[in-house]
Structure 1
Amino acid sequence: MKEKLEALKVEALAQLEQVSDPQTLNDLRVKYLGKKGALTEVLRGMGGLSAEERPIIGQVANDVRGAIEEIIESKQQAFQRAETEQRLRAERVDVTLPGRNMPQGGVHPLNKVIAEIEDIFLGMGYRVAEGPEVETDYFNFEALNLPKNHPARDMQDSFYITEELLMRTHTSPVQVRTMQSMRGEAPLKVICPGKVYRRDDDDATHSFQFHQIEGIVIGENIRMSDLKGTLLQFSREMFGSQTQIRLRPSFFPFTEPSAEMDVTCVQCGGSGCRMCKQTGWLEILGCGMVHPKVLEMGGYDPEKYSGFAFGMGVERIAILKYGIDDIRHFYNSDMAFLKQFARN
């Protein structure tokens, strides 16, 4: 049996020396040291040995097992080192190379315009107020001098959820909520940016969802001239210092008198072009003096206080400012379009 063990040792060491991959090494370990391996098969014959021979053969078997395990462990360590070195070479980072430029995002053009408008009015002493997009009929219409069945409601074709709840059609409800929260205290100067919803055609100039920024000022002796001066200052900061404005009579249920405001064409400067249809003017917003009934429903005494209000579409301002020809560009997630503004 001693000869068999020595022969097994020589055979195993010879095969293990030639191993070149981890899988073959594992196969040979099982072949010689496994439960059904060659060494186990030889040791099963120890039952026929005398008491004097068993310790001797046991010692030889341990030596054979130790020699085989030693070379297996040595080979395993060598394979692990080689694998580690290969992975390090593959993952090596040359710290002297220039860094890779990561793609950068940018602010959406509508958000840029909203932020710019807010900055202009914050600089004039206004504060920003916000309110819910799902609004009650009272705040959206009735508190703005638009009682039920008023014909002017047809101007704002609405998305109703229930008879008394709807998606707000303008941000004017925020003005009313702010007025009521002030409990008749003045002065009040706020702008109200946000999304609004109207059932409208989806074309180059209309969308069922768009953005508005409305503003309101309430105090003693507020006049139409204050409104005009405010809007002139806004227009010149938004479109350039040479911009002129004009007010045209109009009608809104919540203001009296009411007006539409035009600015000199941002493309031709007022000389006339295709963009302004040769008129030299572009309409950008509606405005007027706050109706006495709106003041009263907002908690203000119309005999003591007066005010003005205005409202503009953010998409309209952005279209004019950037020369965009289709409102749908703002919502199509076209990266080629949006990247133009990321560089600004």
Structure 2
Amino acid sequence: MEERIQTLLNEVNAYAAGDKAALEAFRLRYVSKKGAVSELFEELKQVPVEQKKTLGKVLNQLKQTAEARLQELTEQLESAPVSSAEIDLSLPPIPNQLGNLHPLSLTRYRIIEIFERLGFNVADGPEIEDDFHNFSALNFPENHPAREMQDTFFIEKKSAGSQQDILLRTHTSNVQIRMMENQKPPIRAIMPGRVYRNEAISARAHCFFHQVEGLYVDKNVGFADLKQTLYHFAKEMYGKDSKIRFRPSYFPFTEPSAEIDISCLICKGVGCNVCKHTGWVEIAGSGMVHPNVLRNCNIDPEEYTGFAFGMGIERVTMLRYQINDLRLFSENDVRFLRQFQPVV
């Protein structure tokens, strides 16, 4: 048996592989589970005990040498230059497969582009927030329904060890508060980001979604500035033929307040499940920043005024691409995602 081991050792050291087929033949002959080395290990079980130690040591050396030789031959083949004779120039080229941007990302970038041209900066803030920045500073009363568990995902409720509730932000307005706390007017910025609300998942709603909010605070800012800003945005996003309407509304953090509707681009005003068969889809809430919000951020409402707005990126995207089910955005169905423009 020792002579067979030595013979195999000589074969392994002398083996040369000129191509992948010869390399595979070497692996099958010496290294595989059914190769010569494995067969010798099986025979070693029948060898007398007094010879096992000596033969086992030599056999292990053979195994290690065969594995090292396989690695060496593999590296030699991979590093060898490819001659032009081995390249088939008649084969068709491999298509350059580009990935796709998610439709929400495409819309987000488009929103940012529109508002940056109007002089708005882009700001960001934490998704895990405290009660003050998410509710109190925005003039939410203590008993407001949004503070209840059925509407907000709370991480830590107020207790002896914590001064405030900790929660997943329900809007990106928390970024507005942090900006006004740390920056003196004039302030002009938009805040895109993910938000969370404890809502039933349907074609029109989800427990997490994306918003972009805007804030403009300066001297002599009026409601007309807000209207013209949002009119410009809607026309740039949906085209000059889109119809827009403002409806009076109520928000704790703005006064006066308005909701902005756009004519449904999915059903062209006829009526569908997205517009609730009204022909109009709400895309944003807006209004003049409430004086209490400015005071909470140490900004004098007698000197400065401002407007704020917020819109759901999913809703804007549904209208932009005529998508009738919001759940498609989070299902990651490749057939859906491939319908949108590739990365260039």
TM-score (norm 1): 0.70
Could you tell me whether the CA contact under 8 Å between 2:145 and 2:151 is conserved in 1? no
3-state SS, counterpart of residue 249 of structure 1: strand
Encode CA deviations 1:17-72: one digit per residue, 9 max, x unaligned: xxxx999xx9xxxxxxxxxxxxxxxxxxxxxxxxxxxxxxxxxxxxxxxxxxxxxx
- Match in the other structure for 1:125: 119
The counterpart of 1:112, out of the listed 95, 106, 115, is 106
Q: Please, what is the CA RMSD of the aligned residues?
A: 2.8
The 10-residue stretch of structure 1 (149-158 or 309-318) with the greater mean CA deviation from structure 2:
149-158
Deviation at 1:191, TM superposition (A): 0.3
- Match in the other structure for 2:323: 324
Could you tell me whether the CA contact under 8 Å between 1:170 and 1:197 is conserved in 2? yes
Deviation at 1:186, TM superposition (A): 1.9
Encode CA deviations 1:203-231: one digit per residue, 9 max, x unaligned: 11111110000001001111111100000
Deviation at 1:263, TM superposition (A): 1.4
Could you tell me whether the CA contact under 8 Å between 1:152 and 1:253 is conserved in 2? no
Q: Distance in 2 between matches of 1:283 and 1:156?
A: 23
- 1:254-293 equivalent positions in 2, closer than 5 A: 254-267=253-266, 272-274=270-272, 276=275, 279-293=278-292
- Match in the other structure for 2:167: 166
Q: Distance in 2 between matches of 1:316 and 1:280?
A: 14
3-state SS, counterpart of residue 213 of structure 1: strand
Residue 236 (str. 1) matches residue 230 (str. 2): no
3-state SS, counterpart of residue 339 of structure 2: helix
Q: Distance in 2 between matches of 1:148 and 1:297?
A: 15
Q: Distance in 2 between matches of 1:127 and 1:257?
A: 25
Which one has a larger percent helix, Structure 1 or Structure 2? 1
- Match in the other structure for 1:12: none
AA partner of residue 167 (structure 1): L
3-state SS, counterpart of residue 119 of structure 1: helix
Encode CA deviations 1:226-283: one digit per residue, 9 max, x unaligned: 100000000000000122321111111000111111112324655x444645644221
- Match in the other structure for 2:12: none
Change (3 A) 1:155 1:186: farther
Structure of higher CA gyration radius: 1
Encode CA deviations 1:79-109: one digit per residue, 9 max, x unaligned: x9xxx8xxx89x9322453421142211000
- 1:118-157 equivalent positions in 2, closer than 5 A: 118-154=112-148, 157=151
Q: Distance in 2 between matches of 1:316 and 1:197?
A: 15
- Match in the other structure for 1:218: 217
TM-score (norm 2): 0.70
Q: Unaligned regions of 5+ residues in structure 2, if any?
A: 1-21, 30-72, 158-164
3-state SS, counterpart of residue 257 of structure 2: strand
Q: Distance in 2 between matches of 1:117 and 1:209?
A: 19
The counterpart of 1:100, out of the listed 78, 94, 99, is 94
Matched residues, percent identical?
48
Q: Distance in 2 between matches of 1:155 and 1:251?
A: 22
AA partner of residue 110 (structure 1): L
Q: Distance in 2 between matches of 1:241 and 1:117?
A: 16
Could you tell me whether the CA contact under 8 Å between 1:243 and 1:269 is conserved in 2? no
Could you tell me whether the CA contact under 8 Å between 2:238 and 2:320 is conserved in 1? yes
Could you tell me whether the CA contact under 8 Å between 2:98 and 2:342 is conserved in 1? no
Residue 301 (str. 1) matches residue 300 (str. 2): yes
3-state SS, counterpart of residue 173 of structure 1: helix
Aligned residues: 261
AA partner of residue 303 (structure 1): E
AA partner of residue 181 (structure 2): Q
3-state SS, counterpart of residue 338 of structure 2: helix
Deviation at 1:146, TM superposition (A): 1.2
- Match in the other structure for 1:176: 177
AA partner of residue 186 (structure 1): P
Q: Unaligned regions of 5+ residues in structure 1, if any?
A: 1-20, 27-79
3-state SS, counterpart of residue 310 of structure 1: strand
Q: Distance in 1 between matches of 2:180 and 2:196?
A: 23
3-state SS, counterpart of residue 199 of structure 2: coil
Q: Distance in 1 between matches of 2:211 and 2:139?
A: 20
Q: Distance in 1 between matches of 2:236 and 2:205?
A: 26
